[in-house]
């Protein structure tokens, strides 16, 4: 785990950076700033009545939430979800199985997305990581560079991880539900999800993470097999069963959505606290 350096007030550099990112460094209040418009292709995650606009719009002032003093969010509910089967054909040696999976994903032509891709995006981090982060699908930059979350939303994700003294290199594995870029960053089609999500299931079973943090509506609905809104999925501890072992799942907003709706970063902070408390409970 990355080390934290504390300043004179006891707050770590990483946490200060995230609070600055939140806009709550001083009084915990978000300023009524103007959010930058980001074309990401990630579906609106706000309530249906008020989807985030693709054009610049003022950000609502958030309630004064005392983030640090609020402490970790309680584990509200545990919802057993789907059983993840381990494929019979998988090599018994985990390293061989991982390498075989990487090869399979690299060469995959199971759906039409293979035609438009530069390369597949398998994921990044250590397969021995204790946390697995799951996003939706590669965007333009990810398709070019072959790694997940390398654009603006990836930078925010790195800041979020740093604020809780975790780094993508050491502490987490980051993967997407879909391994190839959908054209124009459109939502993946059901058939594409059906063809591609077994790769994620195999990644989950091989990593065997202590906790899965799901980023955004699409990934949450896919992994939890639900059409519930993201607002109702976050704040709870869901559960996947992987090879007979229960893995807690925490849902949060997609970083691209947070870039469009900075007022929601406070909720993302709470989600990280929940994820941390789940991780600790599993220790
Ligand atoms: N959005 C995602 O969901 N995944 C990525 O890898 C990049 C952007």
Write the pLDDT tens digit of every residue in 136-148.
999 999 999 999 9
Residues belonging to the chain = 283
For residue 68, pLDDT beyond 60: no
pLDDT for 139-186, tens place per residue?
999 999 999 999 999 999 999 999 999 999 999 999 999 999 999 999
* Across 233-260, average pLDDT: 92
Residue 45 Cα to ligand 1 middle (Å): 15
The predicted structure's pLDDT at residue 57: 28
Give the pLDDT score at 241.
Answer: 86
Ligand 1 atom nearest residue 121's Cα: 6
Alpha carbon of 209 to ligand 1 centroid (Å): 20
* Residue 148 Cα to ligand 1 middle (Å): 6
Which atom of ligand 1 is nearest to 135's Cα? Answer: 3
How many Å apart are CA 5 and CA 2, to the nearest integer? Answer: 10
Say if residue 85's pLDDT is above 60: no
Mean of pLDDT values over 198-223: 95
Residues 142, 148 contacting (CB under 8 angstroms): yes
- For residue 132, what pLDDT is reported? 97
The pTM score is 0.77
- The atom number, within ligand 1, closest to the CA of 215 reads 3
Ligand 1 pocket, mutate which of 119, 120, 154, 222 (most atoms under 8 A from CB) = 154
Give dist(CA 126, CA 141) in Å, integer: 21
Residue 65's pLDDT is what? 37
**pLDDT at res. 223:** 94
Q: What percent of the chain has pLDDT over 90?
A: 62
Angle at 276 between CA 133 and CA 232, to 5 degrees: 70
d(CA 181, CA 164): 29
What integer pLDDT is reported at residue 50 of this predicted model? 35
For residue 229, what are the CA distances in angstroms to 111, 138, 268? 27, 22, 16
The pLDDT assigned to 7 comes to: 58
Q: Give me the pLDDT at residue 110, please.
A: 95
Tell me the best of 43, 153, 200 to mutate to test the pocket of ligand 1, counting ligand atoms within 8 Å of each CB and taking the most.
153
- Of all protein residues, whose CA lies closest to atom 7 belonging to ligand 1? 149
Position in ligand 1 atom list of the atom nearest CA 254: 3
Return the pLDDT at 73.
Answer: 43
Lining residues, ligand 1, CB within 6 Å? 135-139, 142, 148-149, 153, 176, 256
What digits encode the pLDDT tens for the residues 10-44? 566 666 666 666 554 532 223 333 333 333 344 44
């Amino acid at each position: 785990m990355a080390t934290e350096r504390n300043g004179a007030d006891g707050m770590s550099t990483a946490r200060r950076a995230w609070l600055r990112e939140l806009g709550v460094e001083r009084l915990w209040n978000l300023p009524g700033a103007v959010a930058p418009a980001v074309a990401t292709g990630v579906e609106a995650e706000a309530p249906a009545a008020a989807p985030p606009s693709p054009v610049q719009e003022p950000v609502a002032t958030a309630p004064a939430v005392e983030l640090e003093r609020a402490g970790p969010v309680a584990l509200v509910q545990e919802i057993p979800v789907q059983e993840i089967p381990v494929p019979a054909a998988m090599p018994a040696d985990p390293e061989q199985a991982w390498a075989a999976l990487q090869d399979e994903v690299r060469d995959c032509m199971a759906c039409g997305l293979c035609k438009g891709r530069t390369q597949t995006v398998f994921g990044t981090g250590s397969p021995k990581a204790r946390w697995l982060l799951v996003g939706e699908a590669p965007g333009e930059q990810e398709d070019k560079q072959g790694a997940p979350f390398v654009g603006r939303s990836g930078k925010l994700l790195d800041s979020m991880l740093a604020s809780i003294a975790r780094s993508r290199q050491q502490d987490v594995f980051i993967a997407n539900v879909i391994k190839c870029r959908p054209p124009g960053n459109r939502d993946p089609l059901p058939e594409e999800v059906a063809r591609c999500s077994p790769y994620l299931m195999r990644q989950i079973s091989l990593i065997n993470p202590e906790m899965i943090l799901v980023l955004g509506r699409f990934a949450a609905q896919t992994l939890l097999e639900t059409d519930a809104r993201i607002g109702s999925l976050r704040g709870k501890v869901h559960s996947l069963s992987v090879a007979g072992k229960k893995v807690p799942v925490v849902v949060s907003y997609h970083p691209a959505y947070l870039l469009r709706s900075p007022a929601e970063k406070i909720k993302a902070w709470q989600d990280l606290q929940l994820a941390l408390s789940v991780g600790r409970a599993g220790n």
